[in-house]
């Protein structure tokens, strides 16, 4: 059994914070690098599909360790996965949304600098907050709503006059990139809250739920490959353009999501906020060094506002970890009165 949150050492929490930060920053910069430097551009849809396959195998491995024996693993898979088509269908919803989100990340980082992407992607916080209020019947404090608007203001400043990368020679469309991020943050907010609601509606293991979701995800992303790049994949091959850097991005995407889902229960919102802010700083430094990013005053001010808003949003308040029944007010009334 995992140790209680309060008994986890500060050293372990710092370890979690460091890994979360490095994974977030490195993934963004590495993905941007693979989309702007390589001469033979790989198909991003195939990378998303391979990521789902790796996540599935990793989840099966972790479930095997959790169950303790091969017989129990097979029984668990028969009962909860292959014997539960309704549950598979239920988890196909976040699978579809996450598949779209992951593909949009590739589109965004093909058209926006890593630092600009990292800052703008924090719009997932207000989107998640809105979904939390509407779908889980929770409330946000006035300070949290204030931080949400501050974050939106910071992102607006960053996008007002986007910082330019002088070392990137490929053709880019900033508006396409921003549109892709907008779709990605909407997907992130909805899918994250939907998955949380499914998790807390039963005692089913997290890893069983992950397996259900990744099985659906593989089908969804394969369909995406067929619809988006089918003819070219048949002509050039599924792994066309793959390099060690591309595999590194896939590794980060696969392990990063699973790792974060495990370690966040040992950290608090303030630490996660510091992690996001540190990832923004690291991405900016890396973008200056690798892509010749030219920092502007509006970018600096916007990034600062985003970092402060993340910190304010994560400040302690009353426990909101449980789904509350809507007894006196509807979600819309609660949203309007804040």
Q: What's the pLDDT at 123?
A: 86
Q: What's the pLDDT at 4?
A: 45
Q: What's the pLDDT at 227?
A: 92
What string of DSSP letters covers 197-220? HHHHTS---HHHHHHHHHHHHHHH
Q: What's the pLDDT at 58?
A: 92
CA distance 182 to 124: 9
Cα 60–chain centre separation: 21
Q: What's the pLDDT at 136?
A: 82
State the Cα angle at 20 between 192 and 138, rounded to 5°: 30
Q: What's the pLDDT at 139?
A: 83
Q: What's the pLDDT at 192?
A: 84
Q: Which residues, given as ranges, of the chain have pLDDT below 70?
A: 1-9, 38-39, 161-170, 257, 259-274, 317-338
Helix (H/G/I), strand (E/B), else coil: 108:
helix
* Residue spans per domain, the chain: 10-314
Q: What's the pLDDT at 133?
A: 87
Q: What is the pTM of this model?
A: 0.78
Q: What's the pLDDT at 161?
A: 67
Helix (H/G/I), strand (E/B), else coil: 279:
helix
What does the CA dihedral 150, 154, 155, 160 come to, rounded to 10 degrees?
Answer: 130
């Amino acid at each position: 059994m995992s140790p209680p949150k309060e008994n986890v050492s500060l050293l372990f929490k710092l370890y979690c914070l460091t890994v979360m930060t490095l994974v977030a920053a490195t993934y963004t910069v590495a993905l941007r690098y693979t989309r702007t430097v390589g001469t033979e551009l790989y198909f991003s849809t195939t990378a998303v599909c391979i990521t789902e396959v790796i996540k599935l195998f990793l989840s099966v491995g972790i479930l095997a360790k959790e169950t303790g024996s091969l017989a129990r693993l097979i029984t668990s898979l028969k009962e909860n996965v292959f014997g539960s088509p309704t549950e598979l269908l239920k988890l196909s919803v976040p699978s579809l949304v996450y598949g779209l989100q992951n593909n949009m990340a590739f589109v965004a980082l093909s058209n926006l600098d890593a630092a600009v992407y990292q800052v703008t992607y924090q719009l997932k916080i207000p989107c998640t907050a809105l979904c939390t209020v509407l779908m889980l019947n929770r409330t946000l404090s006035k300070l949290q709503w204030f931080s949400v608007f501050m974050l939106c203001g910071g992102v607006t400043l960053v996008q007002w006059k986007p910082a330019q990368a002088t070392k990137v020679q490929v053709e880019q469309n900033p508006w396409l990139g921003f549109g892709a991020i907008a779709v990605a943050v909407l997907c992130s907010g909805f899918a994250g809250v939907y998955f949380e609601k499914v998790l807390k509606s039963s005692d089913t293991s997290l890893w069983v739920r992950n397996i259900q979701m990744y099985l659906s995800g593989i089908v969804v992303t394969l369909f995406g490959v067929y619809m988006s790049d089918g003819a070219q994949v048949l002509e050039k091959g599924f792994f066309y353009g793959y390099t060690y850097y591309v595999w590194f991005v896939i590794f980060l995407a696969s392990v990063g999501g699973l790792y974060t889902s495990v370690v966040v229960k040992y950290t608090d919102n303030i630490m996660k906020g510091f992690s996001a802010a540190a990832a923004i700083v690291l991405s900016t430094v890396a973008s200056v060094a690798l892509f010749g990013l030219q920092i502007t005053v509006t970018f600096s001010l916007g990034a600062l506002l985003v970092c402060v808003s993340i910190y304010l949003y994560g400040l302690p308040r009353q426990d909101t970890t449980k789904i509350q029944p809507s007894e006196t007010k509807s979600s819309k009334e609660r949203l309007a009165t804040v």
